[in-house]
Chain A
Amino acid sequence: MRIPCPHCGDRSHDEFSYGGAADRRRPTTADFGPEWLDYVYLRDNPAGLHRELWYHGSGCRCWLIVERNTLSHAITAVHAVLPASSPAMEDA
């Protein structure tokens, strides 16, 4: 499987490491509750389109959001978590 990294181009997936479902938001609540259980442990785990995180550790070191079909492994979109305009990217 090859992931088209927006910075590095098309690369074998073993340059990346996997970070699981992308659309989890870290709760801001200070005490344990269902939202924390949800965030840390529960997953939609869909059969089909999956938005997920990949870290290009052997490349640009950016976390990417990859839209990939878990039935076909087809990748339909990739973009970096950080927009190019973010402070952390300005001199990348």
Chain B
Amino acid sequence: MTGDQTYRRADGGAIDRSRPLSFQFDGRRYRGYQGDTLAAALLANGVRLVGRSFKYHRPRGILSAGPEEPNALVELRGGARREPNSRATVAELFDGLEARSQNRFPSLSFDVLALNGLLAPLFAAGFYYKTFMWPAAFWEKLYEPLIRRAAGLGRASGLPDPDRYEKATAFCDLLVIGAGPAGLAAALVAGRSGLRVILAEQDFALGGRLLSDRRWIDGRPAIDWVAGVVDELGTMTDVRVLTRTSVIGAYDSGTYAAVERVADHLAEPPPFQPRQRLWRIVARRSVLAAGAIERPLVFGDNDRPGVMLAGAVRGYLNRFAVRPGARAVVFANNDEGARTVADLAAAGVAVAALVDPRPEAAAETRRIVEAAGARLLRGAQVVRARGGTRLTAVELAGVAPGSGIDPVIPCDLLAMSGGWNPTVQLTSHHGGKPVWDATIAGFVPGTVPPGMVVVGAAAGHFILADDLAQGAQAGAAAAQALGVTAAPVPGFSADPETAAILPLWRVPGARGKSFIDFQNDVAVSDVALAEREGFRAVEHLKRYTTLGMATDQGKTANVNGLAVMAELTARSISETGTTTARPPFTPTALGALAGHHRGPDFRPTRLTPGHDWAAEQGARFIEAGAWMRAQAFPQAGDADLQATIDREVLAVRQAVGLCDVTTLGKIDLQGPDVAEFLDRIYINGWKTLAVGRVRYGVMLREDGFVQDDGTTARLGPDHYLMTTTTANAGSVFRHLEFCHQVLWPDLDLRFISVTEQWAQYALAGPRARDVLAGIVDPGFDLDNAAFPHLAATETRVCDGVPARLFRISFSGELAYEIAVPARYGDALARRLMRQGADHGITPYGLEALNILRLEKGHVAGAELNGQTTARDLGFERMMSTRKDYIGRVMARRPALLAPDRPCLVGLRPVAATATLSGGAHLIARGAVANAAADQGHVTSVGASATLGHWIGLGLLANGRARWGEIVRAVDPLRGQDTEVEIVSPLFYDPEGKRLHA
């Protein structure tokens, strides 16, 4: 039966028979053609059983021919490219495609978990909530693992995705969503009017339903009309047609997200091509022409493989030249039944009957059915489908007794249509509620996102000639709304049709399980159960039964589900309401939404101008926010990282070290009011800072906690340079802009970030002056008297390079920081190394920097953690009482002044060899280590090579009064409990003599 495309029609269709393709499904090889979907090719080969359902593992086939497919989900591709839950109905066939069925064991045709189906009465909606509670401990150990293994659908590869993704942003006057008849007409008129148009179509071909139905426009086959429009759009330079592109979300201000499947129709993306591209489309207007999705009918065992949507059947017949069965029954409550009968007959499929629950039939219908050699069964319904892994017959009710018609009709294909649901999902993305339209028995758009117009079937209009006219008018209206003269709206004619429907939600007399949500196995009985248990709100219905929560997002299920609930509660469908569609419109690869932001490119990497120099010096780099900074400079002789750090620390203490401090934030402030501004920003005073001097400052947030610290130099009468910590460079700058523009616009000053413009190095150690002397201009007096601690100047170094020179020290040694324009940064580092070679100059990294600052008790990130006040950190005396500044008032709230607040202390282990750990808590000696005894914590630690033991900083309740006391640093996480002495945070050179050397 299967194989060899037995079900392929000899001719016709939009496939390319000159390009045969080979593919595999569950390890078996088949053939298809270019232009097929996987579903079409499987049907052509007679494959009907494609998947298993979520809960009961019932055998499932192909229901639809589009993105609404609930059943035919497969694992596509293999290895790291495995894509679980791929809909066979939209997967384009390519040569070598491999697909596997999923959610079955051991095989698709024999699945042991189908036993769940026998237990279906027990597995009703809400089942899990009522059981698996006894005994309590069994949930995680037994029940949950079993449930998890049974649930889920396909398997993730678990391997990094080897493909690339990218993002693009596009702007247009008009975004047309959907290239069916209405969308094409809209794009055509808008394009002719000169608008910048983007036409997005999820299919790989344009035309929408015109590809699947045998229709006529303006007296010629509709596909010829489509070809003409496509050609004309191709000549318009301002019209961009995106095929294989799903518009997945409508966001604010006319922003739409769309995903273009650039290479999913190929085995692998070509070189330098992404697999998919996320488009952010900013559109001044949009036309939603997304068509409609056909509804299944709800009768017994309506999930048997071979039961298909009628529109899909026509699509397979006409577009893909595939006969989805050999003997068909058509079951429809609307006028499309006859169209389906005609197409089946034209394709040579035997049609046994058209089953139509409506009492009357149009003459045209009777003619078509008669011509097809089929029976027209008016007032009848299919109540059950027979068969296991494929349909064998349908059982009917409502057949007139004595008519001689057997109520069981053998068939292998049932084409059903319950009417059409306009594809309104995107209209709901701004919260708009679709409204019920009884004439079409479907929801039509309610409030739509600003700038959007909905046309055609998406608006509930199912007559082709009207759809074309509506689309064209929408294109013209968009032009007019944007102030452009609209091109003439052409008239269209199409073959005649009617669109009458009699709603049929639950087929009366249905026998067996009547499924509403196929993938999640939600049946009428589950909706009824939800109703009895009080889950009558549509959102309760959805959440309790999982109706509409499967990968098809309820595209075929939602309306049937809520209509059944409406019947059960004797409410109208309007009163019952509908759930709100959320983005994305169709399941979207996470890779596409991430784009290239993964791995090393997750976030930008900032490198200092001296990065290459540091790398050549053997630097090990670590992340410091967005920056990469040298952690240390290991040398061949270093035993380990600690040895490197020790060597670098001692070099600074004994000779001279060089450290790249470019990453500190630098803000250049100029104007007559800078000092006043700084007075209001910092806790300390700035009016007395002389030109050529630097001062350390601390700034608070308005809530009274410390925001940042750093030095500011006065380079000229109206010219200041502020430094911030690396971490807070951006937020401090924003804060200054706020203070200036919002709070004090009257102050006359300007400032700008110059972090990127200047490279800056710290030159620290007793030999620093000797090294520096070699690069400053002759005659520049570096003597202590002429250029003392906290001096600053603009000068030149290295024979004419503009520079800023600061005598500031984080290490406590004689130290300078030299800033040069960024382009000289690398050269300056190299020059200083050469200059310092005779003095033992040693590059040092962040680890040594941290030890050096700890030895001096300087606070850094762990102490400036946003939870500490200036008082906590020992800056109380800096807090001016003679001026207003940000945070001043709030810092004086009672809790911030409480004497027992943890404040900064030094920590020294009692045992000389003991180590300290950051994050340990401080507990009194002899106390039980518990929350009540918790008095603070260790913020920063390090092994001080200078002092020969570990040191630390901590925040301890009432700490300043407790110097000399011994407490414990308790680290239960790492099993450490270390006695430490509370000491001054100033471990080294407390008098600061070396600073002034």
User: Do A and B assemble together?
Assistant: yes
The complex places the Cα of A55 from the Cα of B893 at a distance, in Å, of 29
Q: Is A26 an interface residue (CB 8 A)?
A: yes
Q: Is the CB of A86 within 8 A of B734?
A: no
* Complex Cα–Cα for A90 and B742 (A): 16
- Select from chain B the residue with minimum beta-carbon distance to A3: B253
Contact residue among A29, A73, A82 (Cβ-Cβ distance under 8 Å from B741): A82
Least Cβ–Cβ distance between A27 and chain B, in angstroms? 8
Q: Check B83 for interface membership: any CB of A closer than 8 A.
A: no
* Set of chain B residues within 8 Å of A55, measured between Cβ atoms: 734, 737-738
Knowing A81-B745, A82-B745, say if A2 contacts B889 (CB, 8 Å).
no
Main secondary structure of the interface of B (DSSP, over half): mixed
Interface size, chain A (Cβ < 8 Å): 31
B742 to A81, Cβ gap below 8 A?
yes
A12 contact set on B, CB distance < 8 A? 255
A30 interfacial contact with B, CB 8 Å: yes
Bound-state Cα–Cα, A76 to B737, Å: 24
Given A17-B734, A31-B889, are A1 and B251 neighbors across the interface (CB < 8 Å)? Answer: yes
Cβ A53 vs Cβ B889 within 8 A: no
Q: Please, what's the 1-or-0 string for A28-69, where 1 marks a CB less than 8 Å from any CB in chain B? A: 011110001001100000000000010101000111000000
Instruction: State whether the Cβ of B450 lies closer than 8 Å to any Cβ in chain A.
Output: yes
Q: Does B522 contact A (CB under 8 A)?
A: no
Complex contact A32–B893 (CB within 8 A): yes
Q: Is the CB of B890 within 8 A of A40?
A: yes
A31-B730 Cα distance, complex, nearest whole Å: 30
Q: Which of B471-522 contact A (CB under 8 A)?
A: none
Is A19 close to B, CB under 8 A?
Answer: yes
Quote the shortest CB–CB distance from B677 to chain A (angstroms): 11
Contact (Cβ within 8 A) A40 B703: yes
Separation of A75 and B750 alpha carbons in the complex (Å): 30
Q: B263 to chain A: closest CB distance in Å? A: 27
B748 touches A36 (CB 8 A): no
Interface membership of B892, Cβ < 8 A? yes
Query: Is B254 close to A, CB under 8 A?
Result: yes
Q: Are A88 and B253 in contact (CB under 8 A)?
A: no
A40 to chain B, nearest CB (A): 6
CA distance A41 to B691 in the complex (A): 39
Least Cβ–Cβ distance between A53 and chain B, in angstroms: 7
Flag whether B884 is at the interface (Cβ < 8 A): yes
How distant is A81 from chain B, measured CB to nearest CB, in Å? 5
Give chain B interface residues in 218-257, CB to chain A under 8 Å. Answer: 251-255
B702 within 8 A of A: yes
Min CB distance B292 to A, Å, is 28
In the complex, whether B743 has a CB less than 8 A from a CB of chain A is yes
Is B282 close to A, CB under 8 A?
yes
Would you list 11 pairs from A and B whose C-beta atoms are within 8 A, ordered by A residue? A1-B253, A2-B254, A30-B888, A32-B893, A63-B738, A72-B430, A81-B741, A81-B742, A86-B745, A87-B748, A88-B748
Interface of A toward B, CB cutoff 8 Å = 1-2, 10, 12, 17, 19, 26-27, 29-32, 36, 39-40, 53, 55, 57, 61-63, 72-75, 80-82, 86-88
Other 12 A-B pairs with CB < 8 A, given A53-B742, A73-B253, A82-B741: A2-B252, A17-B734, A30-B884, A32-B892, A40-B703, A55-B734, A61-B737, A63-B742, A81-B742, A81-B745, A87-B748, A88-B748
Chain B interface (Cβ within 8 Å of chain A)? 251-255, 282, 430, 450, 702-703, 730, 734, 737-738, 740-743, 745-746, 748-750, 884, 888-890, 892-893
